[in-house]
Amino acid sequence: MMKNIDPMAVIRKYYPEDNALRRLLLHHSRQVADRALIVAARHPELGLDESLLQTGAMLHDIGVFLTDAPGIHCHGTEPYLLHGYLGAQLMRAEGLEAVARICERHTGTGLTMERIRERGLTLPEGIYAPVTLEEQVVCYADKFYSKSHPERERTIEQTAQSLQKFGSEGVQRFLAWAERFE
């Protein structure tokens, strides 16, 4: 069971100013948290840790400010694809290991070491695909919302299509989650 953490306090620590990036992060994170909690409510048989879902969903993108993605108000120096890994480092410094794993395992439907090498990413050997049910649910919920278009909610079909550019393996993983979590 996740210890009681105030995700807003953590967000304020790393995003102290009320600005466009913090508002976007909060909007997106609430969308993901709401959807993750709906999955938990629909599927009590899964025994999901709702506190971890809520906290993990609210903090899954905490590392975006360190990346270079001006289209979503991020003016850091790192490639956007590393935001999950960077967020995981921040969460480990906070003593939040379970949240750190959600951060580093939510990109796409998970990054394989093969994909990491293919893209030339500077990530240490590790597991960058969701393992626990909570990691899977947050990753799944995240795929329906884009920070580039915060007003939109994708359908399952639109989400699967958007994942196609990363290969069929990720699409298959997402569709299996849709079957299990919807």
**Does 37 fall in a domain?**
yes
Where residue 117 sits, what CATH number does that domain have? 1.10.3210
**Does 44 fall in a domain?**
yes
Q: Tell me the pLDDT tens digit for each residue of 117-173.
A: 887 877 888 889 999 999 999 999 999 999 999 999 999 999 999 998 878 889 999
**Does 122 fall in a domain?**
yes
More confident: 7 or 81: 7
Distance CA 66, CA 91 (A): 14
65 within 8 A of 103, measured Cβ to Cβ: no
Q: How many domains would you assign to the chain?
A: 1
**Does 1 fall in a domain?**
no
* Confidence bin at 1 (pLDDT 50/70/90): low
Residue range of the domain that includes 58: 7-181
**Does 170 fall in a domain?**
yes
**Does 154 fall in a domain?**
yes
Q: Tell me the pLDDT tens digit for each residue of 68-99.
A: 999 999 999 998 989 999 999 999 999 999 99
Closest CA to 143 of 133, 158, 132: 158
Q: Any alpha helices (H) in the chain, and if so which ranges? A: 7-14, 20-42, 50-59, 83-93, 97-104, 113-118, 133-142, 156-163, 168-181
